[in-house]
């Protein structure tokens, strides 16, 4: 009886400890040589809903190390999808790629706060049915464990934002705080990964609203998002970004705007990771109709103007073009096989690249 | 490196042409060239990437100013227009200071007989109140316009060009600017 009771209590504690942790569906291909955890770089994340899998794709041939991040904002699904496609298809033949498909897995574990999109979106992959995760932009308040402050203040500067909920936005916390709140610790852990693994360059994949103009509730014409189709680069990485977007436009007809990190806007990955670690940092933005606050209804997968294939295909092409541009400017790069081009994704559909 | 050079060569080969009426009128530009941003978008840096492709002799400074350079040592001044909040923030200046800087440069260039080119390299994405204001302020000094065609869908640059009787060269894709540079600089 006592043994039974102990077993029951153990089971309850175990389920309480592990049962709430969110683990999205990722089905690695042969290119993945190892799988670790972000907590390997910062142990306080272990056994929390902030810990997230890290996929290593090592060619065994000397070359640069590239970090690919999706899911910083978990509703920005072109990034998570592109990261998963990379893990499930690509083989690295020179250098090394590290992929974190769900950088803020706590945000992925809850639905988008707007309530306009299902949390799990059913799709048909090449092996059958599976789900894409459409999460929230910020850490689950339950995982954060403390109320949002009135205003957000960046830990290393005097930079503030009026919306205190931004304290749960991973991409406001870099370079992170070791003894800070869970989202600050998450940023710190990613920064530690970059340092420990000597990451030479990195891309943080995001989405914005679409560039479509619209009529607001007062009948005024409003411009769409100016962030859509943007590659934001640390000032030291700007020339690489310029070459990359010229290639994308020349070959695939998609014009991507180049932007430089604003040094006055603190806490963003493309600025802080470079400054803190030396890794050349980029951030991409594709247009997600689900992020247009003015739309009552939208389809984040099959939108006629901004389908997921277009958005995730563009993310994959940005990766490919960055590899090429990095080689031009630095002298060597990461080499890969089976990374689909934008054109291939548009022809075959993004789901044909998911296991 | 070799692969990328090949890619860039291919970009050059596949690039479609451009429409220019400047050289037909015997208008030519000369090196050396001073390149600066007008609005602190990364367009000016993109200009230099293309300039390298045609081996243009240029000096690039994002914040080139009459206080720091004698503009008369150049033959051409290229002002790449694009207002960027991020870029202005990165440079820690506001739009008023930026307009003052580029207008002073353009005035100095005009006095020294240095040709002034206003360039929009980033297309429609750099058309907005601030960018348009910069163009309007600089227009009296322009000797030529190099403009990505989707930035001129409303004829904004065409109007300035026709009013002043100065050439306007348009191009479809950023990389096509190299054909414009080759033509105008005789490269």
The Cα A86–Cα A80 span in angstroms is 10
Domain-located, residue A240: yes
Mean pLDDT of the residues in chain A: 94
pLDDT at A14 over 70: no
Nearest by CB to residue B174, choosing from A233, A246, A332, is A246
Residues spanned by the domain of A40: 26-212+220-353
The total of other beta-carbon atoms located within 10 Å of residue A309's CB is 22
Domain-located, residue A8: no
Two tokens at A342? 């934008």
| DSSP code per residue over A69-82 | E--SSTT-HHHHHH
Output DSSP code: residue A298. -
User: Residue A328: pLDDT band by 50, 70, 90 thresholds?
Assistant: confident
B2-185: CATH, from 3.90.550, 3.40.50, 1.20.1070, 1.10.287: 3.40.50
Contacts of A278 (CB under 8 A, 6+ apart): none
Average pLDDT over residues B60-81: 96
Question: Does A324 contact chain B (CB < 8 Å)?
Answer: yes
B147-171 tens-digit pLDDT:
999 999 999 999 999 999 999 999 9
- Residue of A81, A102, A278, A291 lying closest to A194 (CA atoms): A278
A301-326 tens-digit pLDDT:
999 999 999 999 999 999 999 999 99
| H/E segment holding residue B183 | helix B177-185
Output DSSP code: residue B29. -
Output DSSP code: residue A168. G
Cβ A260–B84 below 8 Å, yes or no?
yes
Min CA distance, A250 vs chain B (Å)?
6
Q: What is the pLDDT of residue B16?
A: 43
**CATH code, A58:** 3.40.630
Cβ B89–A249 below 8 Å, yes or no?
no
Q: What is the pLDDT of residue A296?
A: 87
The Cα B62–Cα B105 span in angstroms is 12
Residue extents of the structural domains in chain B: 2-185
Question: Does A332 contact chain B (CB < 8 Å)?
Answer: yes
**In this structure, are residues B159 and B165 in contact, taking their beta carbons and an 8 Å threshold?**
no
The Cα A115–Cα A318 span in angstroms is 30
- Residue of A67, A60, A36 lying closest to A278 (CA atoms): A67
SS3 content of chain A, % helix, strand, coil (to 5): 35, 20, 45
B82: phi then psi, degrees, rounded to nearest 5: 175, 105
B19: phi then psi, degrees, rounded to nearest 5: -110, 115
Cα A80 to Cα A186, A331, B103, distances in angstroms: 17, 29, 45
| H/E segment holding residue A106 | helix A105-108
Q: Which of left, alpha, beta for B112 (phi over 0: left; psi -120 to 50: alpha)? A: alpha
Sheet with B76-81, side-by-side order of all strands: B18-20, B168-171, B144-148, B115-120, B76-81, B33-38, B58-60
pLDDT at A176 over 90: yes
**In this structure, are residues A284 and A205 in contact, taking their beta carbons and an 8 Å threshold?**
yes
Min CA distance, B144 vs chain A (Å)?
23
Query: So what's the ipTM on this one?
Result: 0.71
Cβ A265–B89 below 8 Å, yes or no?
yes
Q: Percentage of residues in chain A with pLDDT exceeding 70?
A: 94
In the block, tokens 């000397």 appear at A62
Nearest by CB to residue A239, choosing from B15, B45, B150, is B45
Average pLDDT over residues A214-243: 92
B76-92 tens-digit pLDDT:
999 999 999 888 988 88
B136: phi then psi, degrees, rounded to nearest 5: -60, -40
Average pLDDT over residues A212-229: 90
Q: What is the pLDDT of residue A263?
A: 87
Cβ B86–A328 below 8 Å, yes or no?
no
Domain-located, residue A293: yes
Domain-located, residue A4: no
In A, which residues are within 8 Å of B62 by CB distance? none
Pairing relationship of beta strands B76-81 and B33-38 according to DSSP bridges: parallel
Question: Does A237 contact chain B (CB < 8 Å)?
Answer: no
List the single residue in B with minimal CA-CA distance to A264. B89
Q: Hey, which bits of A70-183 come out as E strands?
A: 91-94, 96-100, 120-125, 128-133, 152-153, 160-161
Count: domains in chain A: 1
pLDDT at A13 over 70: no
Q: Return the half-sphere exposure (C-beta side, CA atoms, 13 A cut-off) of residue B55.
A: 2
Cβ B89–A263 below 8 Å, yes or no?
yes
Two tokens at A206? 């995001």
Two tokens at A41? 């770089």
Question: Does A254 contact chain B (CB < 8 Å)?
Answer: no
């Amino acid at each position: 009886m006592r043994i039974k009771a102990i077993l029951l209590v153990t089971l309850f504690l175990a389920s309480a400890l592990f049962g709430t942790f969110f683990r999205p569906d990722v089905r690695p291909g042969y290119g993945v040589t190892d799988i670790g955890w972000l907590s390997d770089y910062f142990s306080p994340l272990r056994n929390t809903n902030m810990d997230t899998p890290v996929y290593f794709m090592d060619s065994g041939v000397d070359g640069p190390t590239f970090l690919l991040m999706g899911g910083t904002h978990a509703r920005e699904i072109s990034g998570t999808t592109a990261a998963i496609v990379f893990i499930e298809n690509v083989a690295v033949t020179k250098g090394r790629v590290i992929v974190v498909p769900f950088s803020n897995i706590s945000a992925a574990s809850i639905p988008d706060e707007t309530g306009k999109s299902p949390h799990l979106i059913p799709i048909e992959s090449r092996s059958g049915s599976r789900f894409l995760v459409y999460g929230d932009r910020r850490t689950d308040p339950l995982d954060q464990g403390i109320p949002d402050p009135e205003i957000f203040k960046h830990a290393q500067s005097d930079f503030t934002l009026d919306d205190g909920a931004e304290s749960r936005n991973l991409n406001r916390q870099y370079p992170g705080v070791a003894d800070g709140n869970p989202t600050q610790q998450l940023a710190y852990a990613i920064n530690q990964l970059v340092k420990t693994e000597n990451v030479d360059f990195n891309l943080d994949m995001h989405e914005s609203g679409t560039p479509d103009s619209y009529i607001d509730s007062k009948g005024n014409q409003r411009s769409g998002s100016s962030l859509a189709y943007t590659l934001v680069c640390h000032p030291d990485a700007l020339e690489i970004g310029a070459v990359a977007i010229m290639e994308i436009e020349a070959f695939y007809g998609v014009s991507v705007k180049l932007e430089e990190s604003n040094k006055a806007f603190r806490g963003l990955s493309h600025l802080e990771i470079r400054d803190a670690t030396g890794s050349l940092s980029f951030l991409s933005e594709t247009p997600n109709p689900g992020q247009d606050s003015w739309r009552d209804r939208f389809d984040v997968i099959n939108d006629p103007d901004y389908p997921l294939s277009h958005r995730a295909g563009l993310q994959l092409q940005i990766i490919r073009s960055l590899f090429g541009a990095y080689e031009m400017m630095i002298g060597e790069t990461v080499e890969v096989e089976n990374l689909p081009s934008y054109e291939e994704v548009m022809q075959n559909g993004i789901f044909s690249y998911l296991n | 490196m070799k692969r990328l050079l090949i890619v860039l060569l291919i970009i050059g080969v596949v690039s479609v042409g451009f429409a220019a009426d400047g050289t037909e009128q015997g208008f030519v530009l000369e090196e050396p060239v001073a390149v600066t941003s007008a609005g602190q978008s990364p367009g000016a840096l993109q200009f230099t990437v293309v300039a390298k492709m045609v081996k243009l002799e240029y000096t690039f400074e994002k914040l080139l100013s009459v206080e720091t350079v004698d503009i008369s040592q150049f033959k051409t001044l290229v002002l790449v227009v694009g207002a960027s909040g991020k870029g202005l923030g990165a440079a820690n200046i506001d739009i008023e200071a930026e307009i003052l800087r580029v207008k002073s440069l353009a005035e100095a260039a005009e006095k020294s007989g240095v040709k002034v080119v206003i360039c929009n390299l980033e297309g429609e994405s750099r058309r907005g109140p601030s960018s348009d204001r910069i163009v309007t302020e600089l227009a009296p000094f322009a000797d030529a316009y190099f403009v990505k065609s989707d930035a001129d869908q409303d004829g904004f640059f065409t109007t300035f060009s026709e009013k002043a009787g100065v050439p306007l060269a348009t191009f479809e894709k950023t990389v096509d600017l190299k054909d414009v540079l080759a033509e105008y600089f005789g490269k």
